[in-house]
Amino acid sequence: MKIGVLALQGDFALHAKALARVGAEAVEVRKPGELDAVGGLIIPGGESTTLLHLMDEWEFFPAIEKFHAAGRPLFGTCAGCIVLAREVERPRQFSLGLIDVTVERNAYGRQRESFEAHGVAILDGEPTAMEMVFIRAPRIARMGPGVETLARHGGDAVLARQGSVLVGTFHPELTENTAVHRYFARMVETSR
């Protein structure tokens, strides 16, 4: 099973490693045409404004909309979550709107640029303890009725899913725990 990792900016290499650890074949995607060869796509963390600029330049917006319309799963972490959200605040910026959430960028303040937290994710009904690494993380401030919470931190959803779209505000690729990548690989597997 081939899963793409958008490799324009950010920490795509670590996602590719995590996918390999769960037995998926990771493919770095740098051009929209390369999406034809993959069953799902991870949009990594990085800097969302830079990422959006590069995605626009390479004409990824219509290609990802088509990919989503074809039922192929998307997983956005951190900046990737910001890019996939319906609405982005602080400041407002363009987003693809493929999951019905509103996110606030850099929501945890300067003194907490990055931090780790222990949390529990409920993946396929199984509670899974995990370390969550947050880096200049956004906060999911609003979730639409069709969005399911898979993990929380301090009352906020930090891993959420709507249909074929999964978003996380933390970085599962930075820890040894591969549960989230395994979960996404199953989403891709069952979407075929």
Contact residues for ligand GLN, defined by CB under 6 A: 45-48, 78-79, 82, 105-106, 135-136
Residue 173 annotated to the active site: yes
Of 15, 78, 153, 181, catalytic: 78
Of 15, 104, 173, 181, catalytic: 173
Residue 81 annotated to the active site: no
> 39 or 105: whose CB is closer to ligand GLN?
105
Q: In what order do the strands lie in the sheet with 74-77?
A: 25-29, 2-6, 40-43, 74-77, 165-168, 156-162, 148-153, 114-123, 126-135
Both tokens of residue 57? 């330049």
Contact predicate 123/130, CB 8 Å: no
- DSSP, res 43: E
- To the nearest whole angstrom, how small is the minimum distance from the Cβ of residue 140 to ligand GLN? 13
> 100 or 104: whose CB is closer to ligand GLN?
104
> 86 or 105: whose CB is closer to ligand GLN?
105
Contact predicate 123/150, CB 8 Å: yes
- To the nearest whole angstrom, how small is the minimum distance from the Cβ of residue 108 to ligand GLN? 10
CA 69 to chain centre: 17
- To the nearest whole angstrom, how small is the minimum distance from the Cβ of residue 103 to ligand GLN? 9
Beta bridge partners of 162: 165
Report the chain's C-alpha Rg in angstroms.
Answer: 15
| Beta-carbon count within 10 A of 8 CB | 21
> 44 or 73: whose CB is closer to ligand GLN?
44
> 58 or 191: whose CB is closer to ligand GLN?
58
- To the nearest whole angstrom, how small is the minimum distance from the Cβ of residue 130 to ligand GLN? 17
- To the nearest whole angstrom, how small is the minimum distance from the Cβ of residue 171 to ligand GLN? 7
How far lies 162's CA from each of 48, 167, 174, in Å? 21, 9, 24
Residue 131 annotated to the active site: no
- Residue positions annotated with a catalytic role: 78, 171, 173
